[in-house]
Structures are given as structure tokens and as C-alpha cells.
Amino acid sequence: MYNESHCVSRYRAVIYTNAQLIKLIMAQTRFCWTGRRQASTIMNLHMLFDLVGKLVPSIKRFKLKLAPGLVMCYCRVLFCVLFVLITLPRTQPVIQSDAASFAIEIAFSLSQSLLYTSCIMQYQNNFTNPLDRQKASFYQNVLYQGGIGLGAIIGVCIKFLFE
């Protein structure tokens, strides 16, 4: 049976995971400004555009087509590689611009929430059985995180290339 409290706790876990990812990025990134102001700016940008990405699919006229969705999935792999180029810890980062790092963070958080929310909203009515919904959610999460995993593997290879 569909348990709403489980979804809320899973959503909190996703927020916690995103916060940990941002803290990890912030620990290794060499921005021009330092301290809490920088960390709060990154976190606020991430949360703001995550909210925008969750609100856009609720517009009735918005429906994510397959081709733009696939392009956004492929771009997410590219975003992971760009994160590594910004946060190379032992060498000089390839991308040193604060504006580029903020733009990548905005695009990453917007695409993350937009893809996930629109997929759930578009296809949840196709499954009436809760077990089928759970299976579909599992496969969606595997595919959704697979792009980030692939980008992370490519990013690690690039990191070893630059060291």
C-alpha cells in the first residue's frame, strides 16, 4: 500500500543527500569569495531552482516531450564532468569562473527536479496497482541516477588525467 510518510522521509533523504553533495563541492571548490556567504549562496541557488523545477511541471500546458527529456539527461552527464573540472583539488581548476560554476549549479538543480517531477506527474496515472507504481519508481530511480553515475565515472577519469 502507498505510504505517504515513506515518501516524505524519502524526500527528506534526497534533500539531505543534495546538501551533502553541495558541502562536498564547496569543500573542494576554489571560488573568489570564501566562508559562509559562498556556501549559503550555492545552497540558496540550488534550493531556489530545485523549487522552480518542481513547480514548472504543475503548469497545465507544460508537458515534457521525449527528445528534450533525453537531451536533459545527457546534459546531466556533462554537468558531472564540469563539476570535476571546477573542483580539481590538487591542481589548478580548468574552469575558474564563479559565474560558470553558479550557472552549472543552476542548470544541474533545475534539470534534476524538472526531470524527476515531470516524469512522476506524467506517468503516475498509467499505474493503478501500487506494486506497479513501486516497480516503475524503482526503474526510474535507477535510470535517473545512472546518468549521474556515468558522469561521475567520466569525471574521475578526467581527474586522473589532469593529476
CA dihedral 45, 46, 50, 52 (to 10 degrees): 10
| Cβ(103)–Cβ(42) below 8 Å | no
pLDDT band, very low/low/confident/very high, at 147 (cuts 50, 70, 90):
low
- Per-residue pLDDT of 86-124, as tens digits, reads 766 666 666 777 777 788 888 888 888 888 777 777 777
Per-residue confidence band for 142, with pLDDT thresholds at 50, 70 and 90 = confident
- Model pLDDT for residues 7-40, shown as the tens digit of each residue: 444 444 445 555 555 555 555 544 444 445 666 7
Q: In the predicted model, is pLDDT for residue 67 greater than 80? A: yes
Please state, in angstroms and rounded to a whole number, the distance separating the CA atoms of residues 154 and 163.
Answer: 14
Q: What pLDDT digit, counting tens, does each position of 68-79 carry?
A: 878 887 887 787
Of the CA atoms within 13 Å of residue 77, those in its CB half-sphere come to: 12
Cβ pair 64, 118 in contact under 8 A? yes
